[in-house]
Amino acid sequence: MDIGGLETVVANSAYVAARGSVDGNAAATMRDKKMRAKLKLPHITQCGHLKDTVDQTFDSMCVKQPIGKRLFRQYLEGEEAFKSAAELWKKIEDYATSEEKDRPQKAQKMVNKFFDSASKTFCSFLEEKAVSRVREDHKHSRGDLFKETEQQLLKYLEEKALEAYRGSLFFLRFLQFKWLEGQSVTEEWFMDFRVLGKGGFGEVHACQMKATGKMYANKKLNKKRLKKRNGYEGAIVEKRILVKVHSRFIVTLAYAFQTKLDLCLVMTIMNGGDLRFHVYNVDEKNPGFGEDRACFYTAQIICGLEHLHQHRIIYRDLKPENVLLDDAGHVRISDLGLATELPEGQDKTKGYAGTPGFMAPELLKNEAYDYSVDYFTLGVTLYEMIAAKGPFRSRGEKVENKEVTRRILNDPVSYPETFSSDCKLLCEALMEKDPAKRLGFKNNQCVELKDHPYFNTLNWGRLEAGLMDPPFVPDPKMVYAKDISDVGAFSTIKGVVLDDKDKEFYEDFSSGNIPIPWQEEMVETGVFGELNAWGAKGSTPNDLRY
């Protein structure tokens, strides 16, 4: 074995060993004790200023933020008046994520316990209409059976409990966590492992948050290379969009910080490699996926696109290479560097962006376009997953971009016999050259697309909740990345000087912890539980005593 090969073996084994720590318990054993000790709640007197600055809207503070929600619930559970509501809230969540076969029985129990005026835990704040609808429907296993109930429950808690919560010790504890969340983060908190891939401005490394043990991917953007190649705008757009979206079908950004040389985006680590690798390189003699597998990935990609489009974001760079697998075999969309946000009140944009062979006709013709360009690229991606070639070039063919563009604008796509008729129909509906006729995002949803016969056997509710078993599970010992020596080095950047204006941009970019993912990490690695200690029953812990 040569030195390069040996280097890869050593780097892989360190990375695979660290990766064994993805679940919370194992992560605790991988922690760096010294760094963990630095994660400490401040005394409450240090948090005074936060009382006025922290976002205290109910939905954000008590529902969306994982730590905020836990503390709010602890408060509710301690108040006689809100105990039943707190329990019903938990039961509703449990119901939505449980298996269909268990749902009717669970629903019946909930009806008896909370909807019956003779019950001790009767929730009298629920409106009669919502209650009777659940009573009528509860034998079906619909995932959203309690949707209306939940809305009323949350409205009730906002009106009746929020104010009192703000006066409680639990809220002070929340402020302590917000203080900790707001502390700046530097490279000292992360340990880098092997390189996973190479981007336009720097390498992406596996890394581990030392204090919690959680693994992430660290995408580095070299400051000088960014400046030389006018990458600032793209970098800040990618970061801004990642902060905005929260979906299990899109990589999540957890931290943004800077080092002397780089801007760093710390994101969900996707250990399973990208779809391009799986289409072509896993079984080279027999490339491409069967329809079941392609269908599963396509459905998950649709959920990711729908989320982006609901947030007015056009992705523009969907292709197998940008769709990554996690340990379980679920996929997420990544690389949002070419994405763009439509301002409120503006429905179309212009501009050449994307990858040759994937871009929609209207974009290539330099016309104004909207979200529908992403459904064209979805069609190309689905086609490639099954055919193991792009729809606009033959296998192994070298064609100029101009010719690919000509084909996209003019030529019909031909389908190998491996395509079922439903799959072919879907590809045709997505690769429709006229965006007005193309299948996609209508009335803020993808209902029509999800109802396509190609997805007949798919349970969208379970898929969206992350409960469907993936058709393929990556090998936990395998490293789905190129050998280190094959990743390729960057040339050095000369003649670029960084000035105060650059520094200002870097400060703006390096906003530190992203609240929801940071709180999720603290909860899932057990750190929240360890820090959230309370005094003996009824007594106020020292750190909350003024």
Count of residues that interact with Mg ion, criterion CB under 5 A? 2
Helices 66-77/83-96 angle, 10° precision: 140
Nearer to ligand ADP, 201 or 441 (CB): 201
What's phi and psi for 192, nearest 5 deg? Answer: -85, 140
Smallest separation (angstroms) from ligand ADP to the CB of 200: 4
Catalytic residue among 274, 317, 326, 335: 317
Nearer to ligand ADP, 288 or 337 (CB): 337
* Cα–Cα distance measured from residue 489 to residue 202, given in angstroms and rounded to the nearest whole number: 9
Q: Name all contacts of 13-21 with Cβ < 8 Å and 24+ positions apart.
A: 14/193, 14/194, 15/193, 15/194, 15/206, 15/479, 16/476, 16/477, 16/479, 18/193, 18/206, 18/208, 18/215, 19/206, 19/215, 19/269, 19/271, 19/327, 19/476, 20/476, 21/208, 21/213, 21/214, 21/215
Calculate the alpha carbon distances from 205 to 219, 265, 271, 501, 540 in Å.
Answer: 7, 11, 11, 28, 44
Q: Which residues contact 392 (CB under 8 A, 6 or more apart)?
A: 357, 380, 404, 407, 408, 411, 413
Nearer to ligand ADP, 264 or 267 (CB): 267
- Partner whose binding site includes residue 324, from ligand ADP, Mg ion, none (CB under 5 to 8 Å by kind): ligand ADP
Site string for Mg ion, 33-72 (x = CB under 5 A): ----------------------------------------
For residue 102, indicate whether it is catalytic: no
Smallest separation (angstroms) from ligand ADP to the CB of 297: 16
Which residue type sits at 519?
Q
Nearer to ligand ADP, 41 or 270 (CB): 270
Smallest separation (angstroms) from ligand ADP to the CB of 540: 43
Closest among 197, 388, 418 to 283, alpha carbons compared? 388
Nearer to Mg ion, 337 or 435 (CB): 337
Smallest separation (angstroms) from Mg ion to the CB of 237: 10
Tokens read off for 75: 């408060």
Q: Which residues contact 77 (CB under 8 A, 6 or more apart)?
A: 83, 86
- Partner whose binding site includes residue 479, from ligand ADP, Mg ion, none (CB under 5 to 8 Å by kind): none
The partner residues of 324 in beta bridges, in order of sequence, read: 274, 332
Smallest separation (angstroms) from Mg ion to the CB of 335: 4
Closest among 233, 288, 231, 238 to 265, alpha carbons compared? 238
**Is residue 337 a contact residue for Mg ion (CB under 5 A)?**
yes
**Is residue 370 a contact residue for Mg ion (CB under 5 A)?**
no
- Partner whose binding site includes residue 204, from Mg ion, ligand ADP, none (CB under 5 to 8 Å by kind): ligand ADP
Smallest separation (angstroms) from ligand ADP to the CB of 357: 16
Q: Dump strand ranges (E) for 281-371.
A: 313-314, 323-325, 331-333, 340-341
Q: Which stretch binds Mg ion (CB under 5 A): 61-69, 148-156, 329-337, 358-366?
A: 329-337
- Partner whose binding site includes residue 22, from Mg ion, ligand ADP, none (CB under 5 to 8 Å by kind): none
Nearer to Mg ion, 353 or 385 (CB): 353
Q: Exposed, middle or buried by CB within 10 Å (0-12, 13-18, 19+), for 187?
A: middle
Q: Which residues contact 255 (CB under 8 A, 6 or more apart)?
A: 185, 216, 264, 265, 266, 512, 513, 514, 518
- Partner whose binding site includes residue 466, from ligand ADP, Mg ion, none (CB under 5 to 8 Å by kind): none
- Partner whose binding site includes residue 266, from Mg ion, ligand ADP, none (CB under 5 to 8 Å by kind): none
The DSSP result for 433-466, as a single string, is SSTTTS---BTTB-HHHHTSGGGTT--HHHHHTT
Smallest separation (angstroms) from ligand ADP to the CB of 280: 14
Nearer to ligand ADP, 274 or 370 (CB): 274
Smallest separation (angstroms) from ligand ADP to the CB of 251: 5
Calculate the alpha carbon distances from 261 to 17, 55, 187, 224, 491 in Å.
Answer: 28, 33, 11, 8, 14
The footprint of ligand ADP (CB under 6 A) covers 196-201, 204, 217, 219, 251, 267-270, 274, 324, 334-335, 337
- Partner whose binding site includes residue 196, from Mg ion, ligand ADP, none (CB under 5 to 8 Å by kind): ligand ADP
- Partner whose binding site includes residue 251, from Mg ion, ligand ADP, none (CB under 5 to 8 Å by kind): ligand ADP
- Partner whose binding site includes residue 268, from Mg ion, ligand ADP, none (CB under 5 to 8 Å by kind): ligand ADP
* Cα–Cα distance measured from residue 321 to residue 276, given in angstroms and rounded to the nearest whole number: 5
Question: Among all chains, which residue has been given the structure tokens 């563009």?
Answer: 405
**Is residue 335 a contact residue for Mg ion (CB under 5 A)?**
yes
Conformational region of residue 243, where left means phi above 0, alpha means psi within -120 to 50, and beta covers everything else: alpha
Nearer to ligand ADP, 267 or 423 (CB): 267
Smallest separation (angstroms) from ligand ADP to the CB of 253: 10
Which residue type sits at 360?
A
Nearer to Mg ion, 335 or 362 (CB): 335
Q: Which stretch binds Mg ion (CB under 5 A): 52-60, 156-164, 298-306, 336-344?
A: 336-344
Closest among 320, 300, 290 to 423, alpha carbons compared? 290
> Nearest residue by C-beta to Mg ion?
337
The answer to whether residues 388 and 288 touch, using CB atoms and an 8 Å cutoff, is: yes
Smallest separation (angstroms) from Mg ion to the CB of 355: 9
Q: Which stretch binds Mg ion (CB under 5 A): 262-270, 337-345, 474-482, 497-505?
A: 337-345
- Partner whose binding site includes residue 18, from Mg ion, ligand ADP, none (CB under 5 to 8 Å by kind): none
SS3 543: helix
Nearer to Mg ion, 22 or 235 (CB): 235
Q: Dump strand ranges (E) for 93-242.
A: 190-198, 203-209, 215-222
Which residues are marked as active site? 317
Q: By CB under 5 A, name the binding residues for Mg ion.
A: 335, 337
